[in-house]
Structure 1
Amino acid sequence: MNIDKFKDQHVQILQKLSILRELTHGGVIQNATQIARSIMDMSSTIKLHLAAEDMALYPALQRSGNAELTAMSNQLQKDMGAIAAAYEAFARQWSQAEHLRNDEAGFRRDANEVLRTLHQRVQRENTDFYPRIEAL
């Protein structure tokens, strides 16, 4: 199974997380407009990635006949529901520069939690899930 598209999207997501981290370290209030744009940009990539996983990757793995990958993909898909919901709420709250300027501490708190979870998930897929798929 060719998963290059999914791997490329992970690279894009990690790059966008890095940009967001740099902007935040440079100052939330000073970079509020760029941070808000960055969140909206990243949201588009994440939505596309999740849709492709749900429509193509997970169903293909369920049809693969590999019980381990089927179970793993089912669990990852289930777990992603909570992660995606948390990210959507984060993006809704912080994709407006005014909100960032008005509550820097709240943004930092939410970003640390939600974006760390997202980063860990992408890394888990990169190091554990995708290699197993490629070995199939």
Structure 2
Amino acid sequence: MLRADRLILEHLELAAIAADLVRHAEARPIEAAAIATTRWSLSRHLLAHLATEDRLLYPMLRRSPDAATAALAARFAAELGGLADAFKDYIRHWTPERMARDPDGFERDTRALSAQLDERIRREEAELYRHIPDTHPAAKVDVAARRA
């Protein structure tokens, strides 16, 4: 059974990896090897998390007898590709050579990607996860508090 607390733990891990990536993006000079390792970790965890939501969470919630829950799940599922595509574009665009030539641009885009991920996490936990059957309201965790 899919549980909100498991998804929230995945969010905690994603937020921590994204914060590490931002720290690497702030460093001068850019350390491409450290960034590559962190991006690989973020990619692995993010794509696995998104796949879980796509294969398990959204179909389960779309079958809800509550029309509002089903519609919410459909809306979130439709938005799923946006985050995955943004991340893939970021990876393709920011090669080690490009990072070295434009460290400020890399930092800016890394911060933007991290903010997009944080917002997605916040919205999922605030709006979506409470509809998972057997989810206790206390299972929600504030993303901003985690990143502080």
TM-score by length of 1: 0.85
Q: For residues 61 and 20 of structure 1, what CA distance do their matches in structure 2 show?
A: 32
Paired positions, count = 134
Please tell me whether residue 25 in structure 1 is matched to residue 22 in structure 2: no
Q: 1:109 to 1:64 in 2, by over 3 A?
A: same
Q: 1:71 to 1:135 in 2, by over 3 A?
A: farther
1:107 counterpart residue number? 106
The gaps in structure 2 that reach 5 residues or longer are 138-148
The CA deviation string for residues 13-69 of structure 1, in whole angstroms up to 9 with x for no partner, is: 001011112222333x34232122211210111110111111111111112212122
Q: For residues 30 and 50 of structure 1, what CA distance do their matches in structure 2 show?
A: 29
Question: Is residue 19–residue 114 contact of structure 2 (8 Å, CA) maintained in 1?
Answer: no
Give the CA RMSD over aligned residues.
Answer: 2.0
The gaps in structure 1 that reach 5 residues or longer are none
SS at match of 2:65: coil
CA positional deviation for 1:75? 0.8
2:15 counterpart residue number? 14
Q: For residues 59 and 131 of structure 2, what CA distance do their matches in structure 1 show?
A: 16
SS at match of 1:98: helix
Aligned AA (2:128): F
Q: For residues 26 and 87 of structure 1, what CA distance do their matches in structure 2 show?
A: 21
Q: 1:53 to 1:75 in 2, by over 3 A?
A: same
Percent of aligned pairs sharing the same letter: 28
When you count helix as a share of all residues, which structure comes out higher?
1
Please tell me whether residue 53 in structure 1 is matched to residue 56 in structure 2: no
The CA deviation string for residues 58-103 of structure 1, in whole angstroms up to 9 with x for no partner, is: 1111122121221111111112212221111102223x43332122
- The correspondence of residues 1-136 of structure 1 with structure 2, limited to 5 A, is 2-27=3-28, 29-94=29-94, 96-133=95-132, 134=135
